Every structure is written in C-alpha cells, then in structure tokens.
Copies of this chain bind each other. A is one copy, B any other.
Amino acid sequence: MTDVLLRGGRPWGRDAPADILVRDGRIAPAGPAPGAQVIDLAGQIVLPGLVEAHCHLDKTLYGGPWTPHSADDTLGGRIGNDLARRAELGVPSVERIGTLLRRMISCGTTHVRTHTDIDPEVGLRGVAAVREAASGLPVDVTQVAFPQHGLLTNPGTAELLEEALKDGVEAVGGLDPAGIDRDPVRHLDLIFALAERYGAHLDIHLHDGGSLGAWELELITERTQVLGLRGRVTVSHAYALGQIDDAHAGRLTQGFAEAGVAVATAAVYSFPIPPVKRLRAAGVTVACGHDGIRDLWGPYGGGDMLERAMHLAYRSTFRRDEDIELALEAATYGGARALGLRDYGLEPGDRADLTAVPASAPAEAVVVHPARTLVMKDGVVLHN
C-alpha cells in the first residue's frame, strides 16, 4: 500500500496547515515518505470521516423513482402504511441500500449506525440486506436490532432480537417503552438484559415527550448506571429533553454524564431537539444522524452528514462559529464515541478515515456544506 501525503490541509480548520502522512491505513507520525502519493489540499479543512449515528438504511427507497408519501398524519398511520407497503415496494432492497451507502461515502461518511427493523413478518431479512449491501463498500456499518413494530406488544420480536445479537448484530434497540410498547419497565429490563448478555450496545428510540419521556430517561440512566454500561447506551431523539423545564433537564443531563449515556439526534421536522450545548457542557456525548432517508416514513433526506449537521445547528439556533462546531462535533467525534469507535480522529495512530472540504472554518463547512474534495477510508483514496 503506497503512502499518501495529504499536503497543506488544515486539520479541523485550524489556522496552521499541517501535512498528514497516511501509511498502512493509518495516520503516521510526520516523517520522510519517499514515493508517497502527494495530494495537495491547499488549505482545505481536513475532518475525520463523518459518522452517521442514526439512520434506517433497511427502509430506504433512495435512488428509486419518487414515491409519494402515502400514510396519514398519525404515528399509527405511518406504522400501518409501512407494514402494508414495504413488500410492494421491495423493502428492504439491497440495491437501494447500496445506492444510499455510496451516496453517503461520496459525502465523506465513513461510519454508519443503522436501526434495522426486526419483527416476525420481516424476520432478519433487513439485517441480511444491510450486510449484503455494505459488504465490500468502504464504509463501516453497524446495526441496531430495532423493534420498530413493537417488542412486548409484538410476540416473537424479542426472540428475533436475541437471534440477531447471536448472529453478531452490534446493538439492540428499543422504541418508546411507554408510549408505544406500554410497559416501560419490562421493555427496558428486556433489552438491557440482552445488551448485557451479548456484550452489545443499546440504542433506544425515545419520542415520548414531556414528563413521561423524562421519566423513561431516568429509567434508562438508572439501568445504565447499575449495570455499568457506560459508553454503550444511546438514547435517540429524546424529544423530552427539549420539552421539560430547565432544572429538570439539568438533572437528567447530569445523570447522563454520570452514567455515561449518549444522546443521538436527527433534528427532524419541528420535533423538539435535545439541548446540545448544555449536554456538551456537562460532558454528555451527542451524536447526529439523518433518521429515515426517503422511505415510507417520510420523503426527506439527502445522506450528507455536513448538511445534517447544518440542520442540527440551525434548529439549535446556533449562530456563532463555536456553537455551530458543536453540530460538527456531533457528526464526527460525538458519533464516534456513541458508536464506541476506536482509533478515530486526526492524530497519528488513528485510522486514516478522512474527508476534506473547501471552507475557511468548520462552521462554514457546516453551513455551506460544499462537495467533499477528498474522501479516504482506511488510507484508500476514494475520490479527490
């Protein structure tokens, strides 16, 4: 493998350009590199590979013809529509998933966590489809075994989640343990037990709002703390954090920091978003993702994590550069921490998962999100 010298880029947009030597798939200490392929970045910003921390690859219709949304405006309507139409539309589709992954890669995404539907009807077909689509592509995809259509309320699902974990799926999911699954304690006990038994991560969808959602956040924090699962538990969406009063949000945030619970947000539609700045100030990991991209749940999403970081920054009413950078942090290092990635970053020894973007400051990269001029995965130049 030929060495690659990325010349004159600005890591994370710092003022001083710094060369990055890539050797054997990793960032090497600076030093002589005769014969290296030289790529001149001419002051462009170099970022570690973007991390898509919350999406639903298995559901996507990306790359296919425009498919008008056909559900009514209720959550129940969307669930029913999903069940009714996914077979007709060929979901999950290895081809569509592959098309979306290639789009993500072209935008500099090097790591993806995707929530894959598991239920008695679809079984583990989604897991297999995602694996097949990702196989051979220069992107690391990990899956969450996701009970989209209920866990306790959908007999047979718990067994399938366990089967997925036995089969090597990296994380187990949950879904509104109170609002949808109707028995939060049993729901959480079940998935936490699975996570413990299989050494898996946990990533729980929590749309439940207000005091109900806040109470469920306490249940999640308690279990994470007691079971010592620091760094392995993520709450996705967590709308409640953006709805409760300031003091209450402060207590929950403190609990997350102490227990090591991360928050993943997609800043979708007009739903409340967690207070990113407060969470980061308390040391809580914040990750970012798209949620669904062009699927039966909604027609939006383009697959570019810099654009998604813009949505997060915008919805957070971040105007100053240092605030907007918090969204970029969520789309990079924050996602990496939530996913438990090793050797992620811009330092010698880190895997050479990198992207470059023509912008003067990280905040500009987010706001303008220009096309990536370089994407590198494990030291291999994918495009430049």
Contacts and interface: CB of A to CB of B under 8 A. Distances in A.
B319 A363 contact: no
A367 interface: yes
Secondary structure type dominating chain A contacts: loop
A276 to B, nearest CB: 12
A69 B315 contact: no
Contacts of A70: 320
Contacts of A300: 310, 314, 367
B270 A363 contact: no
A299 interface: yes
B69 A320 contact: yes
A366 B273 CA distance: 24
Contacts of A324: 299
This protein's copies in its complex:
2
A60 to B, nearest CB: 14
A68 B269 contact: no
Contact of A314 (B269, B316, B359): B269
A360 interface: yes
Contacts of A364: 66, 299
B317 A361 contact: no
A269 B319 CA distance: 10
A65 B359 CA distance: 10
A218 interface: no
Contacts of A359: 66
Contact of A68 (B66, B298, B321): B321
Interface residues of A, number: 30
Contacts of A361: 66, 68
A152 interface: no
Interface in A250-283: 269-270, 273
Nearest to A321: B68
B68 A315 contact: no
Given A270-B273, A270-B315, A299 B66 contact: no
A381 interface: no
A359 to B, nearest CB: 7
A289 B283 CA distance: 38
Interface string A300-313: 10100000001000
Interface string A91-129: 000000000000000000000000000000000000000
A314 B269 CA distance: 5
Given A299-B363, A299-B367, A367-B300, A269 B315 contact: yes
Contacts of A219: none
Interface string A309-342: 0100011110111001000000000000000000
A66 B360 contact: yes
A321 B273 contact: no
A71 interface: yes
A71 B363 contact: no
Contacts of A302: 368
A307 to B, nearest CB: 10
Nearest to A316: B270
Contacts of A298: 319
A66 B269 contact: no
18 contacts: A65-B360, A66-B363, A68-B320, A68-B361, A68-B363, A69-B319, A71-B319, A73-B317, A269-B315, A270-B270, A270-B273, A270-B317, A299-B364, A299-B367, A300-B310, A300-B314, A300-B367, A302-B368
Given A70-B320, A71-B319, A269-B315, 5 more contacts: A66-B360, A68-B320, A68-B363, A270-B273, A300-B310
